[in-house]
A and B are shown apart, each in its own frame.
Chain A
């Protein structure tokens, strides 16, 4: 549902630990999902994607898990670094050209 007026949830981790960022999506017909990273003062940038016919996809230090039964996505970041500090958004898609963005999570990495 909509969370108008709510500030982004936050996650604080120690450098070197693994991070898990969660996202609940709303449309069971969504068939393509993307995680974006937004560094301070910049626009969001693509990190990793996953199609609905997969339940796991790995990139460099990042893994996305998809659970369609409970409409849940997670982004796992291995060996979190200070450069990973950012806001992370998930986006769900049913058609090309129209994404629905989640509320975002602020990740802070403590040295």
Chain B
């Protein structure tokens, strides 16, 4: 199993641009999550999903959107990128409690 994969690994965006961060898991997990982690800080939950077709906001959802059309995929959309969205983004999945994290996407907005 590849586990949780994320693309791209790195991206530089200009202010106002949009992009989609991709996340795929091959463990057939129902739960999936998006977190952001600013330098030297903890994890903040952006959005999560309890299954295909069901998503909900986390702690910091503003400026982001998600969809979950399949069990495997949980893309995160950034609209009108702002410098405050410069961060490392982690996708994770779980069956019960333990979360499996992807390697992260490092995003810089300038």
Q: Which residues of A contact B (CB under 8 A)?
A: 3, 6-8, 32, 34, 36, 41-46, 49, 89, 91, 93, 96-99, 101-104, 106
Q: Which residues of B contact A (CB under 8 A)?
A: 4, 30-31, 40-43, 48, 50, 90, 92, 94-104
The A/B interface has a contact count, at CB < 8 Å, of 59
Q: How far is the CB of B58 from chain A (nearest CB, A)?
A: 10
Q: Is the CB of B99 within 8 A of A99?
A: yes
Give the docked Cα–Cα distance between A36 and B35 (Å).
15
With A34-B98, A42-B103, A43-B103: A8-B48 Cβ-Cβ less than 8 Å = no
Give the docked Cα–Cα distance between A103 and B97 (Å).
18
With A89-B42, A89-B43, A101-B43: A96-B96 Cβ-Cβ less than 8 Å = yes
Q: How far is the CB of A99 from chain B (nearest CB, A)?
A: 6
Residue from A32, A49, A97 within 8 A of B31 (CB atoms): A97
Measured between beta carbons, the chain B residues less than 8 angstroms from A46 are 98-100
Measured between beta carbons, the chain A residues less than 8 angstroms from B96 are 96-97
Give the docked Cα–Cα distance between A46 and B97 (Å).
11
